[in-house]
A and B are shown apart, each in its own frame.
Chain A
Amino acid sequence: MVAIREFLSIPGKGFKISKSISLVLSLVTLYLFVSVGLPFLSNVSGFSKEHQLIIDEKIEAGAWFYIFVEQIRDIEPRVTNSLKYTPGMLKDGQ
C-alpha cells in the first residue's frame, strides 16, 4: 500500500505530472521508432534487401550466444556430418 501511495502521490506544483508526461512521450517515441523508424532506416541505409532476407529466414540477429540462435541447432550437426562423412574422400582414406 505504501508503495502504491508513494507511486501515485503528486507533489505540489504539478512537477511530477510533467515528468510523467515526458515518460509517456518517451515510450510512445520508442514505440514509433521501432515500428516506423527501423523499417524506414532499413530503406534509407540501403540494407532493406539484406534485412528482408534476415526476416524471411527468421534469424534473430541480436541473439548474443549460440544457444539463443535457432539455426545453430541445424548447422552444427550438418558441419559435423560433412566433415565426418565427406563424400568422395573416404575411398582415398582421407
Chain B
Amino acid sequence: MSNSTSDNTKSKYSFLLKFEDYWAIWLGAIILIFSMFLFFANPPANMDKIIADSNATMQAEAERAPFKTIAWIEASDKKAGLKGTSAPAAKSVSNYFATPGTWSSDNPLKSFYLSSSDAKAKSEASAEKYEKAKAAASEAKALAVQAEKAAEAAGFQDSALNQEAKTQIAAWQKAKADASKAKTSAETKPYNRVSTMIPLMIVLALMFGVGKRFMGESMGKFLMAFPAVFIVAALAFFLGGHEFAKAWGLEYVMWAILLGFLISNTIGTPKWIMPAVQTEYYIKTGLVLLGATILINKMMIIGIPGVFVTWVVTPIVLITTFWFGQKILKMPSPTLNMVISADMSVSGVSAAISAAAACRAKKEELTLAVGISITFTAIMMVAMPLMIKALGLNPVLGGAWIGGTVDSTGAVVAAGEILGPVARDVAATIKMIQNIMIGLMAFCIAAYWALKVDVDSSKADLKVSSAMREIWNRFPKFVLGFLGASVVFTLIYSGMGTDGANVLIDNGTSKFLGSLQKWFFALAFASIGLSTNFRELAKYFKGGKPAILYVCGQSFNIALTFTMAYIMFMKVFPGITASLMQ
C-alpha cells in the first residue's frame, strides 16, 4: 500500500524533472542559493559602521553647506568603496566566469591572454602617468580645500565664494577620477582567460547535460556537442570585445548570431552539434537568474517623475505599438509584432528576450527584433545627445529623454556620457527603472497569450476549472521562476536596506550572476545562429514591416517620453531636478 502511494506521488511529480521550463527553474535556483551563500556570508569588514558613519557625515555636511563639500564626497566615496565582490572567495569564483576581454586592432590576443612580461611592461609605461595624475589630484584637492575654507569663513553666504568652491571641488573630482584610471593601468595584472574558460565550459556542460538526461535525451551526445557551441559563444565575446565594437554598441549577442549564421549557412551546422543547440533551455535559465536582479525597490529611486517617465509612458507605447502593428500595419505574426514592440518600448534586447520567451516567439523573430534594435541604437546613441546639445536642453530633461528612449542600458550610459555627468546619471537611472519593468511585462505577455492568443476554439465551451487547467498548461512555467526570483530578491533587498543591499546585492550577487548570465545568453544566441536558415529569416522581413513598426513606435516613444519628462522634471517636480543638478 505504502509502496503504491509512494509510486503515485513519484509519478505525480515526475513532470517537475521532465520539462525544460522546470529545469530552468531548478538550475536557476541552485545558482541563486549558491550566490547568496557566497556573498551574504562574507560581507566586507565593518560594513554597517562604515555605512552609518558615511551617512551621518553626508547628513551633517548637507545641513552645513549649500553644496557637496569635500567631506560629503569622501563619505559618499567611502560608502561606494564597499563591494561584496571584493571578498576573496567571491573573487576566486567570479574569476572563472570572465569572458574574453577588450582588445584593439594592434593586439587581438589581449582578449584572451596577457603575459607577465607584457603586464609588467604596461604597468611600467603607465607608472609615470599615474604619478603625475596622483600629484595633480593632490594639488586639486589642496585648491578645493582652500576654496571651501574661504566659502565657510563667509558662512556660506557669499555666492561667488560658494561657486568658486563648487568649481574647485568639481576639478578635484575630475583629477581624482583621472588618477584612478591611471592607477588601473599602472597596476595591470597578467591573465589567461583560456585557463578559466575550460573549467567553466566543463561545469556548464555537466549542469545543462544532467537536465537533458532527465528530459530523456542523451547526455553523452550533449556533452560531445556543447564545446562547439561554447566556442562559438567565446568567439562572439571576442568580436564584441573590440574597442570599436563596444563603442558602436555591437555586443556579443549580434556576433553570436552572425557566427552561428555563417556556419549554418555555409557548411551547415553539423548534426553532432545539434544536441547542444538549445536556445530556449539557455535563455530560460538565464532569465530565471535575471529575475533575481529585477528589484522592484529601485522603482522609486528618482521619485515620482522617474515612475511617470518609465512605468506610465512605457506601457502606453508598448500597447499602442502592438495595436498599430496588428490593426494598421497588419503584421502577419503577432509574436513578431509583440517582440518588436517590447524591444523598442521597454529596454531593447532584454525586453525582446523576455517577451519572445513569454509569447513563445520563433527564434527568427527574436533575431530580427534584436537586429533592428541594435542597428537603430547604434545611431540613436550618438545622434540623440548631439541633438539635445544643439537644442540646449536641461541635462536632467535630456538625460530622462535618453533614458526613456534609447534601447540598451549601455547605449544609454554612453549617450549620457556624451551629454555630461548629470545627464548620464539621470539617463542611466531612468533606464534602470525601465529595465525593472521586464518582469511584469513578461508575466502580462505570458498571461495575455495564454488567455487570448493561443486559444483553441474547439475548447471554448469548457467549464471554468477545465479552462483554468488549459490556461495553466499553456502558461510558460519558467516565468514563475523568473518572477519568484524577483520577489525573493526584492524582499531580501528591502530587509537589508538600500545601503547594505547595494554592497551585497548590487555589488555582490547581481554582479556575480551577471557574468554567468552573459555566458547563458551567448550560448542561446549562438544556438539561434546555428539553427537559423537565411531564407527563413528573410521571409519575416518581407515588405519591411518590422522596420516600419520599429520606426513608427520609436517616433511615438520619443514624442511621448519628451512630453512626460518635460512635465515631470521641469514643471511638476523642479525640486528633484535641482537636487540632481547639484
Chain A residues proximal to chain B, CB less than 8 Å: 2-4, 6-7, 16, 19-20, 22-23, 26-27, 30-31, 34-36, 38-39, 41-42, 47, 50-55, 57-69, 71-91, 94
Contacts and interface: CB of A to CB of B under 8 A. Distances in A.
B417 A53 contact: yes
Interface string B244-274: 1111111111110011001100111011110
B108 interface: yes
Contact of B62 (A6, A30, A62, A86): A86
Given A3-B272, A59-B413, A79-B301, A39 B244 contact: yes
A77 B80 contact: yes
B369 to A, nearest CB: 12
B411 interface: yes
Contacts of B259: 27, 30
A82 B266 CA distance: 55
Interface stretch (B205-213, B277-285, B426-434): B426-434
Nearest to B80: A77
Contacts of B243: 55
Contacts of A62: 240, 245-246, 248-254, 374, 408, 410-411
Contacts, number: 235
Task: Please tell me the size bucket of the interface on B.
Answer: 35 or more
A67 B513 contact: yes
B424 A75 contact: yes
28 contacts: A3-B224, A3-B271, A4-B272, A16-B267, A20-B266, A20-B267, A34-B242, A36-B105, A38-B244, A38-B248, A42-B248, A50-B418, A55-B244, A59-B414, A65-B349, A65-B514, A67-B514, A68-B410, A71-B413, A72-B428, A78-B76, A79-B425, A79-B580, A80-B301, A85-B55, A85-B58, A87-B72, A90-B59
Contacts of A27: 259, 262
Contacts of A64: 251, 253, 347-350, 407-410
Interface in B296-354: 298, 301-303, 347-350
Contacts of B432: 66, 72, 76
A5 to B, nearest CB: 9
Nearest to B378: A61
The interface residues of chain A, by DSSP majority, are classed as helix
A87 B410 contact: no
A61 B242 contact: no
Which of B254, B385, B431 is most buried by chain A, counting CB atoms within 10 A of its CB? B431
Contacts of B66: 87-88
Nearest to B64: A87
Interface string B36-63: 0000000000000000000100110111
Given A61-B249, A76-B301, A82-B68, 18 more contacts: A3-B224, A6-B272, A19-B268, A30-B262, A54-B414, A59-B246, A64-B348, A64-B408, A67-B517, A73-B506, A76-B298, A77-B502, A83-B576, A85-B59, A87-B67, A88-B67, A89-B579, A91-B63
Nearest to A71: B413
A87 B65 contact: yes
B180 to A, nearest CB: 11
Given A68-B518, A73-B506, A77-B76, A23 B413 contact: no
B435 interface: yes
B576 to A, nearest CB: 7
Contacts of B386: 50
B133 to A, nearest CB: 14
The interface residues of chain B, by DSSP majority, are classed as helix
Contacts of A61: 246-249, 381, 408, 410-411, 413-414
A86 B579 contact: yes
Given A38-B242, A62-B245, A83-B576, A88 B65 contact: yes
Contacts of B506: 73, 76
B473 interface: no
B575 interface: yes
Given A60-B251, A81-B76, A2 B272 contact: yes
Contacts of A47: 382
Contacts of A51: 244, 247-248, 382
Nearest to B499: A77
Contacts of A89: 62, 575, 578-579
Nearest to B509: A67
A39 B242 CA distance: 10
B343 to A, nearest CB: 10
A78 B425 contact: yes
Contact of B435 (A52, A54, A66): A66
8 pairs of A and B residues whose beta carbons are closest in the complex = A62-B251, A3-B272, A88-B66, A63-B410, A64-B349, A38-B244, A51-B247, A61-B249
A81 to B, nearest CB: 5
Contacts of A57: 417
B410 A75 contact: no
B509 to A, nearest CB: 10
A63 B272 contact: no
A16 B511 CA distance: 44
B582 A86 contact: yes
B62 A87 contact: yes
A87 B582 contact: yes
A54 B247 contact: yes
A31 B418 CA distance: 28
A24 to B, nearest CB: 9
